[in-house]
Amino acid sequence: MVLVKFTYALKRFFPKLADTKVDGKTISAILQEIEARHPGVTKYVLDDQGRLRQHVNIFIDGVMIKDRTKLTDPFLENSEIYIMQALSGG
Amino acid sequence: MKSTLLLGTRKGLIAYRFQNGKWTMESCSFEGVPISIAYADPRNGTWWACQDHGHWGVKLQRSKDRGKSWEEVTAPAYPEGEEVKDGMPATTRYLWAMAHGGKNYTSRLWIGTDPGGLFVSEDEGNSFQLVESLWQHPTRKEGWFGGGRDLPGIHSIVVDPRNEDHIHIGISCAGVFETTDAGKSWAIRNKGMNADFLPDPTVETGFDPHIVVAAPSNPDMLWQQNHCGIFRSTDAGKNWIDVSEADGPARFGFALAVAGDNPDQAWVAPADSDVNRTAIQSALVICRTDDGGKTWKQLRNGLPQESCFDIVYRHALVNDSNAVVFGTTTGNLFFSPDRGEHWQVINNYLPMIYSVQFAE
């Protein structure tokens, strides 16, 4: 199982969001599992067409994913996946 | 005068209440979150917050208890595979206009978006559907483009209270479109408009209305503050006439309000040209016409007349009875009890103000 961690910024909208172990074999499958537990959260991470939002990043074991459109980056069975946002604005 | 003001600001939805002869802040919801439109549905008192989270996309919230509690509903989203242009997937980037569907369609709501899609809800906002007829309009992919924003956007939705299937919308940049069948088909209503920024100013679309407003007392009287001046129509948009001042400040700007009781009376908030977009000669001025745009009066009494950089965004100037209120880009909120003859400061220290609405 992979461990999914979230930026604290998302916890403003989903207060129960916590580090979660999930079974998914792809990033998309993982997000679907998270969505089932926290309905609506994927709308914050992905846009209307299922692409990673421009100012959101996903890291797999500390490395930023490359495929922001189809989310096909591979990972290991015990990978740590971190969902965060860019630090910008004012 | 209605006793509530709803503000959409860069840092939250702010409500003011008029009590004991002065405006007092009642609440701030979503502190820190940009609110592109704060909207109160006059049919049922529901408050809506169109949110622009930036990082997390646009979101839509509603409150049935004056902002004490909020419920997130699914924001308008483009169906899978839709494209703004060939090869550019469509995703909702901004909620830029909101209007109720009228007294005969109590569950209907309209939302205009960047990148140019109009959405309708028939279930009180629980879900929104893209209005396909407009999205598939043959002029859209080639004839619409970004103006106020990077991509085309719908910022004006004008529902005719006499026939609520009759609607005008304003698109930057495309122009004014009209439907008489609740969005099944659309006619382009840009006759008489200027688009002097285009190489061919005689085009069918590509005009830049900044805001389109109907006179409540005669909905065939349409006004628009356009990129290229102030225009008025007396025949529901079939023909537009330039009513800008030749030499005075009433020409370029974003906001426009029409008096509720007089279709010939309107206010604009002039800005210094599309090149600068600042207060005119460092002074804030609102202009009012009482004769359908033939003449304009400058209203400055109580407004800053030096060292001022404020301009007024398109949804941030409103009228109700004798009251006029506007909010500025630098967070100043002004109130006039006498149709603009005298102005009072409500607050000098607000965030950038995107929208202002009178509500009960």
Q: Model confidence over B166-192: pLDDT tens digits?
A: 999 999 999 999 999 999 999 999 999
Residue contacts between A and B (CB atoms, under 8 Å): 51
pLDDT at residue B203 in the model:
86
Q: Span B256-274, mean pLDDT?
A: 96
Domain that holds residue B308: 4-359
Percent of chain B with pLDDT over 70: 100
pLDDT at residue B358 in the model:
98
For residue B192, what are its two tokens? 């008489």
With 80 as the cut, is the pLDDT of residue B164 above it? yes
The complex scores an ipTM of 0.85
pLDDT at residue B194 in the model:
86
User: In the structure, what pLDDT confidence band is assigned to residue A35 with cuts at 50, 70 and 90?
Assistant: very high
pLDDT at residue A85 in the model:
85
- Span B179-232, pLDDT tens digits: 999 999 999 999 999 888 888 877 899 999 999 999 999 999 999 999 999 999
What CA dihedral angle connects B155, B159, B160 and B166, to 10 degrees? 100
With 80 as the cut, is the pLDDT of residue B233 above it? yes
Q: Span B299-309, mean pLDDT?
A: 98
State the Cα–Cα distance between residues B55 and A55, nearest whole angstrom.
Answer: 5
User: In the structure, what pLDDT confidence band is assigned to residue A88 with cuts at 50, 70 and 90?
Assistant: low
CATH code, B89: 2.130.10.10
In the three-class reduction of DSSP (H, G, I as helix; E, B as strand; rest coil), residue B35 is classed as strand
CATH of domain A2-85: 3.10.20.30
What are the distances in angstroms from CA A35 to CA B128, B165, B190, B307?
20, 38, 45, 51
For residue B338, what are its two tokens? 């006498």
Percent of chain B with pLDDT over 90: 94
With 80 as the cut, is the pLDDT of residue A77 above it? yes
Please list every residue in chain A whose beta carbon sits closer than 8 Å to the beta carbon of residue B89.
47-49, 51
Domain boundaries, chain A: 2-85
With 80 as the cut, is the pLDDT of residue B314 above it? yes
With 90 as the cut, is the pLDDT of residue B56 above it? yes
Candidate from A44, A48, A86 with C-beta closest to B77: A48
> Cβ of B60 under 8 Å from any chain A Cβ?
no
Given an 8 Å threshold on Cβ–Cβ distance, is B89 in contact with A51? yes
With 70 as the cut, is the pLDDT of residue A90 above it? no
Given an 8 Å threshold on Cβ–Cβ distance, is B74 in contact with A43? yes
User: In the structure, what pLDDT confidence band is assigned to residue B149 with cuts at 50, 70 and 90?
Assistant: confident
> Cβ of B56 under 8 Å from any chain A Cβ?
yes
- Span B4-30, pLDDT tens digits: 999 999 999 999 999 999 999 999 999
Candidate from A10, A50, A89 with C-beta closest to B54: A89
Q: Span A11-40, mean pLDDT?
A: 94
With 90 as the cut, is the pLDDT of residue B115 above it? yes
* Residue B231 distance to chain A (closest CA, Å): 36
* Residue A51 distance to chain B (closest CA, Å): 10
Please list every residue in chain B whose beta carbon sits closer than 8 Å to the beta carbon of residue A85.
55-56
* Residue B287 distance to chain A (closest CA, Å): 33
Mark which residues 91-130 of B lie under 8 Å from A by CB. 91-92
Given an 8 Å threshold on Cβ–Cβ distance, is A53 in contact with B75? no
What are the distances in angstroms from CA B38 to CA B66, B84, B173, B358?
12, 26, 23, 10
pLDDT at residue B136 in the model:
98
Q: Which of B327, B353, B281, B272 is nearest to B34 (CA)?
A: B353
Q: How many domains does chain B have?
A: 1
* Residue B78 distance to chain A (closest CA, Å): 6
Given an 8 Å threshold on Cβ–Cβ distance, is A48 in contact with B53? no
